[in-house]
Amino acid sequence: MKTIAILGPTASGKTALAIELARTYGAHILSLDSLSIYKEINIASAKPSLAERQGILHFGMDVLLPSEHFDVTMFFECYHEAKEACKRDKKDLIIVGGTGFYLKAMMEGFSVKPEISLHVKGEIEAKLCNLEASYALIEMHDP
């Protein structure tokens, strides 16, 4: 399985090229766009239409509702799902989009945020609920 990435600015023809390559060489596509993951966000993401996508397996597209959270760790889940499908189907993977952060994380790795205990979260939330106490805390450090 080969993996190629097509990156560039908005409206530069990345998606059209990826679809043409996928049709020509029989590849699957993984969207590297931070908005394409969301259902109902079609115009802002310049997402290809269903007709354009027909016959090509796409990953990372139309998965979540706009009210749902998405981050780089979830992108990795989409990436691993795409890789497994490519291995199973004996196809190459085309990664296309403009979110370079995701590609950089794939190539260089990333630090997973540390877990915060419920106790610490509770303390912080309690402090944030009391604006006067929060302001007093700030004044102690920056009069």
* Contact by Cβ (8 Å): 72, 101: yes
Q: Using alpha carbons, select from 74, 67, 80, 124 the residue that is nearest to residue 99.
A: 74
pLDDT value, residue 125: 86
Question: Domain segments of the chain: what residues?
Answer: 3-111, 113-143
What is the CB-side half-sphere exposure of residue 138 using CA atoms within 13 A? 8
pLDDT value, residue 68: 93
**Assessment of whether the complete model's pTM goes beyond 0.85:** no
Domain 3-111 has CATH 3.40.50.300: yes
pLDDT value, residue 87: 98
- List Cα–Cα distances, 64 to 25, 36, 38, 68, 108, in angstroms: 29, 9, 5, 6, 26
Which token pair is 102? 């995701």
The 10 Å Cβ neighbour count of residue 69 is 6
**pLDDT by position in tens, the chain (length 143):** 899 999 988 778 999 999 999 999 999 999 998 888 999 887 766 788 889 999 999 999 999 999 999 988 899 999 999 999 999 999 999 999 888 888 888 888 877 778 889 999 898 888 778 888 778 878 888 88
Q: Which residues of 31-42 are buried (b: 16+ CB within 10 A; e: fewer)?
A: bbbbbbbbeebe
Say how many Å lie between the first and final Cα of the chain, rounded: 60
